[in-house]
Amino acid sequence: MALSDLLPAPRPMYTNLSWSQKLFCSVGIATIAYFVGNFYSSIYLHFIRRSKLHRYLREDGSAWALVTGSSDGIGKGFAEELCSRGFNVLLHGRNQAKLEMVMADLMQRFPKVMVLSVTADATKASSADIDNLLQTVQTLPGKLTVLVNNIGGVPFQPQYASMTECGEEMVDNIVNINARFPTQVARALLPTLRANSPSLVLSMGSITGLQGPPYLVAYSASKAYNHTFSEALSAELAAEHVEGVEVMTILTGVVNSAGNPSPVNFFTPTSRRMAAAALDKSGCGKRVVFGYWAHALQWTAVTMIPYRLREAILIKALRSRKAEEVAESRKTH
């Protein structure tokens, strides 16, 4: 007779638990499953899945992409990346001289594609500017299939200012650049993008739109607007049974660019690397998503901090930046 025959049959441990213990155990298992699922989903999104941006190319090489705010920074990174992937690119900016420099550079580096430009002052977002942009798109030697509403930021001095320190014109300019101009561009070009589908409307959001910091009130609020814009427009297209137009907002953290000379590190990619990561999210099925994996990791870590503590950290950090900007301004004057 085997020893196992003399011992009582083992009972599953779970059956020995009280109902409250079973409840906590079930909650624990569900929580672990949730975090494991999210972890795998993030790994797949940022490192495994392939971009579907190629859907918006044309075999005859006639596909065009419009990148707003492409004179430098992330916008220029988008232009470089789109050219490298076979798209003809229409650059937008308000400084014709800077646009011509970028055009010359791109045409030299990517001779197989066409590069054109159009000027418009996003701080004004006038009807004439929007009409001129639309007319330029309609006369392109090909079809516009990608709109990258990249333009944004606070390209003014001071960058960090309380609402009582901001003048009426400054607030209008910030809202126009980050919300009004991108919305009007999308509105004007949506019929064209629908006609040329499959097509993509990609907007640039910001981590500041998820929890607004002090001294950037108008900017962070207008970035939060971008997030809702993509969700609402996607829902509207679905409600009207419009297929083939992908709408998404890319969330970003700190990026090294002309307007933000932060050193490149683990959490701070170059402008082109940020642009490449954003384009790679095309076709992922999400309306609002972090483009760069380290920014997603950073935000996940931040959300584990209690809200009030997060707010206190933001206040301290932005107070410091504002003080540094004021001190620097005094030196130069």
Place of tokens 């420099």: 101
- Strand 143-149 relative to strand 199-204, pairing: parallel
Residue 179 located in a structural domain: yes
Tell me the pLDDT band of 12, cut-offs 50, 70 and 90: low
Place of tokens 């085997």: 2
Residue 33 located in a structural domain: no
Longest dimension (CA), the chain: 97
Residue 292 located in a structural domain: yes
Encoding tokens for residue 103? Answer: 């055009």
Q: Where are the alpha helices (DSSP H) in the chain?
A: 3-6, 19-43, 73-84, 96-109, 127-138, 168-175, 181-195, 217-239, 271-280, 293-303, 307-332
- More confident: 71 or 330: 71
With 60 as the cut, is the pLDDT of residue 137 above it? yes
Residue 11 located in a structural domain: no
Residue 165 located in a structural domain: yes
Nearest-angstrom CA–CA distance, 113 and 105: 12
Q: What is the pLDDT of residues 282-298, one digit of tens each?
A: 999 999 999 999 999 99
Segment 107-121 mean pLDDT? 96
With 60 as the cut, is the pLDDT of residue 14 above it? no
Q: Which one of the listed residues 56, 160, 219, 292 is annotated catalytic? A: 219
- Whether 112 is catalytic is no
Q: What is the pLDDT of residues 140-159, one digit of tens each?
A: 999 999 999 999 988 888 89
Give Cβ neighbours of residue 280 (< 8 Å, ≥ 6 apart).
51, 53, 291
What range does the domain containing 279 cover?
56-305
- The helix/strand/coil state of 283 is coil
Query: What integer pLDDT is reported at residue 26 of this predicted model?
Result: 79
- What is the 8-class DSSP label of residue 19? H
Place of tokens 């004004």: 124
Tally of domains within the chain: 1
Encoding tokens for residue 116? Answer: 């054109």
With 90 as the cut, is the pLDDT of residue 77 above it? yes
Query: What integer pLDDT is reported at residue 55 of this predicted model?
Result: 95
Q: Which span out of 262-266, 274-278, 299-303 was modeled with the highest average pLDDT?
A: 274-278
Residue 252 located in a structural domain: yes
- The helix/strand/coil state of 193 is helix
Q: What is the pLDDT of residues 186-211, one digit of tens each?
A: 999 999 999 999 999 999 999 999 99
pTM of the predicted model, to two decimals?
Answer: 0.90
Nearest-angstrom CA–CA distance, 48 and 319: 40
We report the CATH number of the domain holding residue 265 as: 3.40.50.720
Q: Which one of the listed residues 143, 223, 281, 322 is annotated catalytic? A: 223
Report the candidate in 207, 198, 194 with the shortest Cα–Cα distance to residue 236. 194
- Whether 143 is catalytic is no
With 90 as the cut, is the pLDDT of residue 3 above it? no
Nearest-angstrom CA–CA distance, 281 and 81: 14
- Spell out the SS3 assignment of 223-273: HHHHHHHHHHHHHHHHHCCCCCEEEEEEECCCCECCCCCCCCECCECEHHH
**Chain centre to alpha carbon of residue 320:** 26
With 80 as the cut, is the pLDDT of residue 96 above it? yes
Query: What integer pLDDT is reported at residue 29 of this predicted model?
Result: 80
Length of the chain: 333
Residue 12 located in a structural domain: no
Residue 142 located in a structural domain: yes
Q: What is the pLDDT of residues 18-67, one digit of tens each?
A: 777 777 777 778 777 766 777 777 788 898 999 999 999 988 889 999 99
Query: What integer pLDDT is reported at residue 10 of this predicted model?
Result: 53
Q: What percent of the chain has pLDDT over 90?
A: 78
Query: What integer pLDDT is reported at residue 34 of this predicted model?
Result: 67
